[in-house]
Structure 1
Protein backbone atom coordinates (compact mmCIF):
# COMPACT_ATOMS: atom_id res chain seq x y z
CA UNK A 1 0.00 0.00 0.00
CA UNK A 2 1.49 3.33 -1.06
CA UNK A 3 2.00 6.11 1.57
CA UNK A 4 0.19 9.32 0.99
CA UNK A 5 2.10 12.00 -0.91
CA UNK A 6 1.87 14.45 1.98
CA UNK A 7 3.61 11.99 4.34
CA UNK A 8 6.45 11.41 1.82
CA UNK A 9 7.01 15.11 1.45
CA UNK A 10 6.96 15.59 5.24
CA UNK A 11 9.56 12.81 5.72
CA UNK A 12 11.84 14.29 3.06
CA UNK A 13 11.55 17.69 4.67
CA UNK A 14 12.58 16.25 8.07
CA UNK A 15 15.60 14.46 6.52
CA UNK A 16 16.73 17.67 4.87
CA UNK A 17 16.44 19.52 8.16
CA UNK A 18 18.52 16.89 9.99
CA UNK A 19 21.23 16.95 7.31
CA UNK A 20 21.37 20.75 7.41
CA UNK A 21 21.63 20.72 11.22
CA UNK A 22 24.47 18.15 11.09
CA UNK A 23 26.36 20.14 8.49
CA UNK A 24 25.98 23.36 10.50
CA UNK A 25 27.21 21.59 13.67
CA UNK A 26 30.26 20.22 11.85
CA UNK A 27 31.05 23.61 10.41
CA UNK A 28 30.73 25.34 13.80
CA UNK A 29 32.94 22.74 15.46
CA UNK A 30 35.58 23.11 12.76
CA UNK A 31 35.63 26.92 13.09
CA UNK A 32 35.84 26.70 16.88
CA UNK A 33 38.79 24.30 16.64
CA UNK A 34 40.63 26.61 14.22
CA UNK A 35 40.12 29.65 16.45
CA UNK A 36 41.11 27.88 19.73
CA UNK A 37 44.69 28.86 20.92
CA UNK A 38 47.33 26.17 21.26
CA UNK A 39 47.47 26.57 25.04
CA UNK A 40 43.73 25.98 25.34
CA UNK A 41 44.00 22.94 23.10
CA UNK A 42 46.80 21.54 25.25
CA UNK A 43 44.82 22.30 28.40
CA UNK A 44 41.73 20.64 26.98
CA UNK A 45 43.74 17.60 25.95
CA UNK A 46 45.30 17.39 29.39
CA UNK A 47 41.91 17.60 31.08
CA UNK A 48 40.53 14.95 28.75
CA UNK A 49 43.50 12.67 29.38
CA UNK A 50 43.12 13.24 33.10
CA UNK A 51 39.47 12.26 33.00
CA UNK A 52 40.30 9.23 30.90
CA UNK A 53 43.01 8.20 33.36
CA UNK A 54 40.62 8.63 36.28
CA UNK A 55 38.04 6.53 34.51
CA UNK A 56 40.66 3.85 33.90
CA UNK A 57 41.66 3.91 37.59
CA UNK A 58 38.00 3.48 38.59
CA UNK A 59 37.62 0.64 36.12
CA UNK A 60 40.71 -1.07 37.53
CA UNK A 61 39.42 -0.74 41.10
CA UNK A 62 36.11 -2.30 40.10
CA UNK A 63 37.81 -5.31 38.50
CA UNK A 64 37.67 -8.50 40.51
CA UNK A 65 40.33 -11.19 40.76
CA UNK A 66 38.80 -13.03 37.83
CA UNK A 67 38.82 -9.93 35.58
CA UNK A 68 42.58 -9.97 34.96
CA UNK A 69 42.14 -9.07 31.29
CA UNK A 70 40.06 -6.03 32.17
CA UNK A 71 42.59 -4.95 34.78
CA UNK A 72 45.39 -5.28 32.24
CA UNK A 73 43.47 -3.14 29.76
CA UNK A 74 42.89 -0.54 32.47
CA UNK A 75 46.63 -0.47 33.25
CA UNK A 76 47.44 0.14 29.58
CA UNK A 77 44.87 2.91 29.46
CA UNK A 78 46.35 4.52 32.59
CA UNK A 79 49.84 4.42 31.06
CA UNK A 80 48.53 5.90 27.82
CA UNK A 81 46.39 8.73 29.21
CA UNK A 82 47.86 9.29 32.65
CA UNK A 83 50.74 11.40 31.35
CA UNK A 84 51.83 14.68 32.88
CA UNK A 85 51.13 17.85 30.94
CA UNK A 86 53.94 18.91 28.63
CA UNK A 87 56.32 21.42 30.20
CA UNK A 88 57.16 24.75 28.68
CA UNK A 89 60.26 24.63 26.47
CA UNK A 90 61.87 27.42 28.46
CA UNK A 91 61.40 25.50 31.73
CA UNK A 92 62.76 22.33 30.12
CA UNK A 93 65.87 24.23 28.95
CA UNK A 94 66.41 25.67 32.43
CA UNK A 95 66.13 22.19 33.98
CA UNK A 96 68.54 20.78 31.39
CA UNK A 97 71.15 23.51 32.02
CA UNK A 98 70.75 23.18 35.80
CA UNK A 99 71.23 19.43 35.62
CA UNK A 100 74.28 19.84 33.37
CA UNK A 101 75.80 22.41 35.74
CA UNK A 102 75.17 20.16 38.76
CA UNK A 103 76.84 17.22 37.02
CA UNK A 104 79.86 19.33 36.00
CA UNK A 105 80.27 20.63 39.55
CA UNK A 106 80.13 17.07 40.91
CA UNK A 107 82.67 15.89 38.34
CA UNK A 108 84.99 18.80 39.17
CA UNK A 109 84.73 18.04 42.90
CA UNK A 110 85.56 14.37 42.27
CA UNK A 111 88.50 15.41 40.06
CA UNK A 112 89.81 17.76 42.77
CA UNK A 113 89.59 15.06 45.46
CA UNK A 114 91.23 12.50 43.18
CA UNK A 115 94.03 14.94 42.30
CA UNK A 116 94.65 15.81 45.96
CA UNK A 117 94.81 12.10 46.81
CA UNK A 118 97.24 11.41 43.95
CA UNK A 119 99.46 14.33 45.02
CA UNK A 120 99.47 13.06 48.59
CA UNK A 121 100.38 9.56 47.43
CA UNK A 122 103.19 10.92 45.23
CA UNK A 123 104.53 12.91 48.19
CA UNK A 124 104.38 9.81 50.42
CA UNK A 125 106.26 7.72 47.84
CA UNK A 126 108.93 10.39 47.36
CA UNK A 127 109.38 10.90 51.12
CA UNK A 128 109.69 7.16 51.78
CA UNK A 129 112.28 6.85 49.02
CA UNK A 130 114.43 9.62 50.59
CA UNK A 131 114.06 8.14 54.09
CA UNK A 132 115.17 4.72 52.85
CA UNK A 133 118.36 6.34 51.55
CA UNK A 134 119.00 8.15 54.85
CA UNK A 135 118.51 5.10 57.11
CA UNK A 136 121.89 3.47 56.25
CA UNK A 137 123.55 6.73 57.36
CA UNK A 138 121.68 6.46 60.68
CA UNK A 139 122.84 2.83 61.01
CA UNK A 140 126.47 3.86 60.51
CA UNK A 141 126.14 6.61 63.10
CA UNK A 142 124.83 4.10 65.64
CA UNK A 143 127.59 1.56 64.88
CA UNK A 144 130.25 4.24 65.24
CA UNK A 145 128.85 5.52 68.53
CA UNK A 146 128.56 1.96 69.90
CA UNK A 147 132.22 1.33 69.00
CA UNK A 148 133.29 4.55 70.72
CA UNK A 149 131.13 3.98 73.80
CA UNK A 150 134.22 3.93 76.02
CA UNK A 151 135.42 7.29 74.69
CA UNK A 152 132.41 9.46 75.56
CA UNK A 153 134.69 12.22 76.86
CA UNK A 154 136.40 12.50 73.50
CA UNK A 155 135.33 15.82 71.84
CA UNK A 156 135.09 14.12 68.45
CA UNK A 157 132.73 11.43 69.82
CA UNK A 158 130.67 14.08 71.59
CA UNK A 159 130.35 16.02 68.31
CA UNK A 160 129.26 12.87 66.46
CA UNK A 161 126.69 12.13 69.18
CA UNK A 162 125.22 15.63 68.86
CA UNK A 163 124.96 15.30 65.06
CA UNK A 164 123.25 11.90 65.46
CA UNK A 165 120.73 13.31 67.94
CA UNK A 166 120.00 16.27 65.65
CA UNK A 167 119.47 13.90 62.73
CA UNK A 168 117.06 11.71 64.74
CA UNK A 169 115.15 14.78 65.97
CA UNK A 170 114.72 16.01 62.39
CA UNK A 171 113.48 12.60 61.25
CA UNK A 172 111.03 12.47 64.14
CA UNK A 173 109.65 15.91 63.25
CA UNK A 174 108.79 14.77 59.72
CA UNK A 175 107.05 11.62 61.02
CA UNK A 176 109.82 8.99 61.10
CA UNK A 177 110.00 6.83 64.19
CA UNK A 178 111.72 3.51 65.07
CA UNK A 179 109.70 0.31 65.43
CA UNK A 180 109.72 -1.25 68.89
CA UNK A 181 111.14 -4.75 68.78
CA UNK A 182 113.01 -6.34 71.72
CA UNK A 183 110.57 -7.71 74.31
CA UNK A 184 107.58 -7.21 71.97
CA UNK A 185 105.45 -9.96 70.44
CA UNK A 186 106.47 -10.79 66.90
CA UNK A 187 104.30 -9.10 64.27
CA UNK A 188 104.99 -9.87 60.59
CA UNK A 189 103.58 -6.46 59.67
CA UNK A 190 106.51 -4.75 61.42
CA UNK A 191 109.16 -7.42 62.01
CA UNK A 192 111.22 -9.72 59.81
CA UNK A 193 112.31 -12.89 61.64
CA UNK A 194 115.71 -14.13 60.47
CA UNK A 195 116.51 -16.40 63.45
CA UNK A 196 114.71 -18.48 66.10
CA UNK A 197 115.88 -19.41 69.57
CA UNK A 198 114.51 -21.51 72.44
CA UNK A 199 114.53 -19.50 75.63
CA UNK A 200 112.42 -20.48 78.63
CA UNK A 201 112.89 -17.02 80.12
CA UNK A 202 110.93 -15.49 77.24
CA UNK A 203 107.36 -16.15 76.27
CA UNK A 204 106.14 -17.65 73.04
CA UNK A 205 106.73 -15.58 69.91
CA UNK A 206 108.61 -12.87 71.78
CA UNK A 207 111.46 -10.98 70.10
CA UNK A 208 114.75 -11.77 71.83
CA UNK A 209 117.17 -9.64 69.81
CA UNK A 210 117.19 -6.97 67.09
CA UNK A 211 119.83 -7.10 64.35
CA UNK A 212 118.68 -4.08 62.36
CA UNK A 213 116.31 -1.38 63.53
CA UNK A 214 113.08 -0.89 61.60
CA UNK A 215 111.41 2.45 60.92
CA UNK A 216 107.95 3.78 60.10
CA UNK A 217 106.99 6.91 58.20
CA UNK A 218 103.67 8.12 59.58
CA UNK A 219 101.44 5.02 59.34
CA UNK A 220 103.46 2.97 56.83
CA UNK A 221 106.52 0.79 57.28
CA UNK A 222 109.68 2.07 55.58
CA UNK A 223 111.88 -0.79 56.76
CA UNK A 224 110.99 -3.90 58.79
CA UNK A 225 112.95 -4.71 61.92
CA UNK A 226 115.32 -7.65 61.43
CA UNK A 227 114.91 -9.77 64.58
CA UNK A 228 115.49 -13.06 66.43
CA UNK A 229 112.29 -14.65 67.78
CA UNK A 230 112.11 -16.90 70.84
CA UNK A 231 110.10 -20.12 71.13
Structure 2
Protein backbone atom coordinates (compact mmCIF):
# COMPACT_ATOMS: atom_id res chain seq x y z
CA UNK A 1 0.00 0.00 0.00
CA UNK A 2 2.90 2.33 0.74
CA UNK A 3 4.16 1.78 -2.80
CA UNK A 4 0.83 2.99 -4.18
CA UNK A 5 0.89 6.06 -1.92
CA UNK A 6 4.48 6.88 -2.92
CA UNK A 7 3.56 6.41 -6.56
CA UNK A 8 0.52 8.64 -6.13
CA UNK A 9 2.59 11.37 -4.45
CA UNK A 10 5.26 11.19 -7.17
CA UNK A 11 2.59 11.56 -9.87
CA UNK A 12 1.10 14.55 -8.05
CA UNK A 13 4.51 16.23 -7.83
CA UNK A 14 5.16 15.53 -11.50
CA UNK A 15 1.82 17.05 -12.46
CA UNK A 16 2.50 20.16 -10.37
CA UNK A 17 5.97 20.57 -11.93
CA UNK A 18 4.52 20.18 -15.43
CA UNK A 19 1.86 22.79 -14.70
CA UNK A 20 4.54 25.13 -13.40
CA UNK A 21 6.58 24.61 -16.56
CA UNK A 22 3.54 25.36 -18.71
CA UNK A 23 3.00 28.60 -16.84
CA UNK A 24 6.65 29.56 -17.30
CA UNK A 25 6.45 28.86 -21.02
CA UNK A 26 3.28 30.89 -21.34
CA UNK A 27 5.05 33.83 -19.66
CA UNK A 28 7.96 33.46 -22.07
CA UNK A 29 5.57 33.51 -25.02
CA UNK A 30 4.05 36.74 -23.85
CA UNK A 31 7.52 38.31 -23.62
CA UNK A 32 8.74 37.02 -26.99
CA UNK A 33 8.48 39.35 -29.95
CA UNK A 34 10.07 37.33 -32.73
CA UNK A 35 7.97 34.77 -34.65
CA UNK A 36 10.58 32.03 -34.30
CA UNK A 37 10.57 32.14 -30.49
CA UNK A 38 6.77 32.13 -30.55
CA UNK A 39 6.69 28.95 -32.68
CA UNK A 40 9.15 27.13 -30.40
CA UNK A 41 7.25 28.23 -27.37
CA UNK A 42 3.94 27.06 -28.86
CA UNK A 43 5.46 23.63 -29.52
CA UNK A 44 6.77 23.48 -25.96
CA UNK A 45 3.35 24.43 -24.63
CA UNK A 46 1.69 21.76 -26.72
CA UNK A 47 4.17 19.09 -25.53
CA UNK A 48 3.77 20.14 -21.92
CA UNK A 49 -0.02 20.10 -22.16
CA UNK A 50 0.18 16.60 -23.61
CA UNK A 51 2.49 15.57 -20.77
CA UNK A 52 0.07 17.04 -18.21
CA UNK A 53 -2.78 15.05 -19.77
CA UNK A 54 -0.74 11.82 -19.67
CA UNK A 55 0.32 12.38 -16.06
CA UNK A 56 -3.23 13.13 -14.99
CA UNK A 57 -4.41 9.93 -16.72
CA UNK A 58 -1.69 7.93 -14.88
CA UNK A 59 -2.78 9.51 -11.61
CA UNK A 60 -6.43 8.55 -12.15
CA UNK A 61 -5.48 4.98 -13.09
CA UNK A 62 -3.31 4.70 -9.97
CA UNK A 63 -6.22 5.83 -7.78
CA UNK A 64 -8.55 3.32 -9.45
CA UNK A 65 -6.02 0.48 -8.97
CA UNK A 66 -5.61 1.35 -5.31
CA UNK A 67 -9.38 1.46 -4.77
CA UNK A 68 -9.79 -1.95 -6.44
CA UNK A 69 -6.96 -3.36 -4.33
CA UNK A 70 -8.58 -2.09 -1.13
CA UNK A 71 -11.97 -3.58 -2.03
CA UNK A 72 -10.41 -6.92 -3.02
CA UNK A 73 -8.43 -7.25 0.22
CA UNK A 74 -11.47 -6.37 2.32
CA UNK A 75 -13.49 -9.06 0.57
CA UNK A 76 -10.67 -11.61 0.98
CA UNK A 77 -10.42 -10.89 4.71
CA UNK A 78 -14.16 -11.44 5.18
CA UNK A 79 -14.02 -14.69 3.22
CA UNK A 80 -11.04 -15.96 5.23
CA UNK A 81 -12.89 -15.26 8.48
CA UNK A 82 -16.03 -17.06 7.31
CA UNK A 83 -14.01 -20.06 6.11
CA UNK A 84 -12.17 -20.21 9.44
CA UNK A 85 -15.42 -20.18 11.41
CA UNK A 86 -16.93 -22.87 9.17
CA UNK A 87 -13.86 -25.14 9.50
CA UNK A 88 -13.76 -24.76 13.29
CA UNK A 89 -17.48 -25.39 13.69
CA UNK A 90 -17.27 -28.46 11.45
CA UNK A 91 -14.74 -30.00 13.83
CA UNK A 92 -16.89 -29.17 16.89
CA UNK A 93 -20.03 -30.72 15.39
CA UNK A 94 -18.82 -34.22 16.29
CA UNK A 95 -18.84 -33.22 19.96
CA UNK A 96 -22.36 -31.80 19.65
CA UNK A 97 -23.51 -34.99 17.90
CA UNK A 98 -22.13 -37.17 20.69
CA UNK A 99 -23.71 -35.01 23.38
CA UNK A 100 -27.08 -35.22 21.56
CA UNK A 101 -26.75 -39.01 21.35
CA UNK A 102 -25.93 -39.22 25.06
CA UNK A 103 -28.93 -37.09 25.99
CA UNK A 104 -31.25 -39.04 23.65
CA UNK A 105 -30.07 -42.38 25.05
CA UNK A 106 -30.69 -41.33 28.64
CA UNK A 107 -33.89 -39.27 28.26
CA UNK A 108 -36.19 -42.26 28.34
CA UNK A 109 -34.68 -43.78 31.47
CA UNK A 110 -33.32 -40.73 33.26
CA UNK A 111 -34.59 -39.77 36.62
CA UNK A 112 -35.61 -36.19 37.20
CA UNK A 113 -33.04 -35.79 39.97
CA UNK A 114 -30.06 -37.26 38.04
CA UNK A 115 -27.46 -34.49 38.32
CA UNK A 116 -25.03 -36.02 35.84
CA UNK A 117 -27.70 -36.24 33.13
CA UNK A 118 -28.78 -32.65 33.79
CA UNK A 119 -25.14 -31.55 33.51
CA UNK A 120 -24.77 -33.20 30.11
CA UNK A 121 -28.03 -31.57 28.99
CA UNK A 122 -26.74 -28.17 30.11
CA UNK A 123 -23.43 -28.67 28.28
CA UNK A 124 -25.34 -29.59 25.11
CA UNK A 125 -27.54 -26.50 25.48
CA UNK A 126 -24.45 -24.34 26.00
CA UNK A 127 -22.82 -25.75 22.85
CA UNK A 128 -25.98 -25.09 20.85
CA UNK A 129 -26.17 -21.52 22.18
CA UNK A 130 -22.54 -20.89 21.17
CA UNK A 131 -23.22 -22.22 17.67
CA UNK A 132 -26.32 -20.02 17.32
CA UNK A 133 -24.34 -17.05 18.61
CA UNK A 134 -21.79 -17.60 15.85
CA UNK A 135 -24.56 -17.65 13.26
CA UNK A 136 -24.61 -21.42 12.73
CA UNK A 137 -28.07 -22.81 12.02
CA UNK A 138 -29.43 -26.33 11.89
CA UNK A 139 -30.72 -27.39 8.49
CA UNK A 140 -34.37 -28.43 8.74
CA UNK A 141 -34.86 -31.83 7.20
CA UNK A 142 -37.64 -33.92 8.74
CA UNK A 143 -40.87 -33.47 6.77
CA UNK A 144 -39.20 -31.14 4.24
CA UNK A 145 -38.77 -31.68 0.52
CA UNK A 146 -35.42 -33.26 -0.34
CA UNK A 147 -32.94 -30.59 -1.44
CA UNK A 148 -29.58 -31.90 -2.70
CA UNK A 149 -27.99 -28.57 -1.74
CA UNK A 150 -28.87 -29.17 1.92
CA UNK A 151 -29.47 -32.90 2.30
CA UNK A 152 -27.52 -36.06 1.52
CA UNK A 153 -29.85 -38.99 0.81
CA UNK A 154 -28.33 -42.16 2.28
CA UNK A 155 -31.47 -44.29 2.05
CA UNK A 156 -34.82 -44.28 0.31
CA UNK A 157 -38.14 -46.01 0.76
CA UNK A 158 -41.38 -46.36 -1.16
CA UNK A 159 -44.38 -45.38 0.93
CA UNK A 160 -47.65 -43.94 -0.34
CA UNK A 161 -48.38 -42.23 2.99
CA UNK A 162 -45.77 -39.55 2.26
CA UNK A 163 -45.31 -37.05 -0.54
CA UNK A 164 -42.82 -37.24 -3.39
CA UNK A 165 -39.17 -36.68 -2.32
CA UNK A 166 -40.15 -36.06 1.30
CA UNK A 167 -37.58 -36.55 4.05
CA UNK A 168 -38.94 -39.07 6.56
CA UNK A 169 -35.88 -39.69 8.74
CA UNK A 170 -32.93 -37.51 9.72
CA UNK A 171 -29.95 -39.71 10.58
CA UNK A 172 -27.45 -36.89 11.13
CA UNK A 173 -28.22 -33.19 11.52
CA UNK A 174 -26.88 -30.76 8.96
CA UNK A 175 -25.63 -27.26 9.71
CA UNK A 176 -24.95 -24.11 7.74
CA UNK A 177 -23.08 -20.90 8.46
CA UNK A 178 -24.55 -17.89 6.68
CA UNK A 179 -25.16 -19.25 3.17
CA UNK A 180 -22.45 -21.93 3.31
CA UNK A 181 -23.38 -25.52 4.17
CA UNK A 182 -20.96 -26.83 6.77
CA UNK A 183 -22.40 -30.34 6.80
CA UNK A 184 -25.31 -31.77 4.81
CA UNK A 185 -28.11 -33.54 6.67
CA UNK A 186 -28.00 -37.29 6.18
CA UNK A 187 -31.56 -38.32 5.48
CA UNK A 188 -33.89 -41.07 4.35
CA UNK A 189 -36.17 -40.02 1.48
CA UNK A 190 -39.47 -41.38 0.24
CA UNK A 191 -39.77 -41.80 -3.52
Q: Same fold (TM over 0.5)?
A: yes
**2:103 paired residue number:** 145
The reply on whether 1:127 has 2:85 as its aligned counterpart is yes
**What's the offset of the Cα at 1:123?**
1.6
The reply on whether 1:163 has 2:162 as its aligned counterpart is no
TM-score normalised over the length of structure 1: 0.62
**What's the offset of the Cα at 1:94?**
2.5
Contact 1:152 1:158 in 2 (8 A): no
SS where residue 148 of structure 1 aligns? Answer: helix
Question: What residue ranges of structure 2 are gaps of 5+ in the alignment?
Answer: 1-33
Which deviations, in whole Å up to 9, do the C-alpha atoms of 1:79-135 show, x marking residues without a partner?
xxxxxx995333333222221111111101111111112222222222111111000
Alignment of 1:163-202 (within 5 A): 163-202=123-162
**Change in 2 beyond 3 A, CA 1:41/1:220:** closer
SS where residue 88 of structure 1 aligns? Answer: helix
Alpha-carbon distance in structure 1 between the residues aligned to 2:83 and 2:144: 28
**1:218 paired residue number:** 178
Higher relative contact order (CA 8 A, sep 6+): 2
TM-score normalised over the length of structure 2: 0.75
Which deviations, in whole Å up to 9, do the C-alpha atoms of 1:147-193 show, x marking residues without a partner?
11031521111111111111111111111011000100001000000
SS where residue 151 of structure 1 aligns? Answer: coil
**1:31 paired residue number:** none
**1:111 paired residue number:** 69
Aligned length: 157
Alpha-carbon distance in structure 2 between the residues aligned to 1:115 and 1:36: 57
Alignment of 1:21-170 (within 5 A): 35-39=34-38, 88-149=46-107, 150-151=109-110, 153=112, 154-170=114-130
**1:205 paired residue number:** 165
**Change in 2 beyond 3 A, CA 1:159/1:41:** closer
Alpha-carbon distance in structure 1 between the residues aligned to 2:45 and 2:61: 22
Alpha-carbon distance in structure 2 between the residues aligned to 1:199 and 1:124: 41
**Change in 2 beyond 3 A, CA 1:137/1:41:** closer
Alpha-carbon distance in structure 1 between the residues aligned to 2:47 and 2:133: 62
**Which moves more between the two structures, 90-99 or 146-155?**
90-99
